[in-house]
Amino acid sequence: MKRIVILFSGQGSNMLRIIEEVKKHKDIEVVAAITNKKEAEGIQRLKPYDIALNIISHKDYDSREEFDQELVNRINYYKPDLVVLAGFMRILTPIFTQNIKSINLHPSMLPLFKGAKAIEQSYANADKPAGISVHWVSEELDGGSVIAQKELPRIEGEAFESFKNRIHLLEYELLPHTVVRLLQ
Ligand code: GAR
């Protein structure tokens, strides 16, 4: 059995898509989810599932390193084959990146628009490609090698909300399929 641990900070909509996709595969399971936010909306969405939930608030730790060490300990407890960052909004230290093999979802065509405002920046820069990336997590923020990408065709005059929704729809396809592909 291949084991997945998912990290999230907010809505958890991508986490849900992974959980649903993995259900179709008897040899893969999501064993745990970890969030750094007590109030993350994704916590409620996990209720129907038999998946261990861990809330580790970064506010309870004095440094990034101490928080990351606790994350590493908790992740290793579940002995995952793959760790997926699905909307996990933390800058990670080498304590995490050197000890955990993980992938991250990012809402732009990396290396374009790294960081927390990727959708806004992609939207504003209509001369550059928009899309999404799944990449290996490395020490450099949003800088690890790309595993899969999907470009979003531009629609002239499109409103930001519509653009953002289409980015999310692309994510719901690419991330679950990439997770399964990496484990098979
Ligand atoms: C997703 O759009 C993901 O690409 C983005 O956060 C959102 C999480 O949504 N991640 C980043 O910006 C990472 N830098 P979700 O919580 O509903 O899955």
Collapse the DSSP code of 60 into the 3-class scheme (helix H, G, I; strand E, B; otherwise coil) and give the result.
helix
Which alpha helices (H) appear in the chain, and where do they start and end? 13-22, 42-45, 64-77, 94-97, 118-124, 160-183
**Cβ of 131 below 6 Å from ligand 1:** no
Ligand 1 geometric centre to CA of 104 (Å) = 9
**Cβ of 138 below 6 Å from ligand 1:** no
Whole-structure pTM value: 0.97
- Res 117: pLDDT: 97
**Cβ of 118 below 6 Å from ligand 1:** yes
- Res 57: pLDDT: 98
The two three-digit tokens of residue 28, written as one number = 């893969």
Mean pLDDT (the chain) is 98
Ligand 1 geometric centre to CA of 133 (Å) = 11
Confidence class for position 83, pLDDT limits 50, 70, 90: very high
Domain 2-183 sits in CATH 3.40.50.170: yes
Ligand 1 mutation pick, 168, 170, 173, 175, max ligand atoms within 8 A of CB: 168
Nearest to 175 by CA among 104, 110, 97: 104
Please write the tens of the pLDDT for every residue from 8-66.
Answer: 999 999 999 999 999 999 999 999 999 999 999 999 999 999 999 999 999 999 999 99
**Cβ of 106 below 6 Å from ligand 1:** yes
Active site residue 168: no
Contact 98, 74 (CB under 8 A): no
- Domain extent listing, the chain: 2-183
Q: Which of 58, 106, 135, 177 is catalytic?
A: 106
The two three-digit tokens of residue 74, written as one number = 């908790």
Contact 42, 15 (CB under 8 A): yes
- Res 47: pLDDT: 97
- Res 95: pLDDT: 98
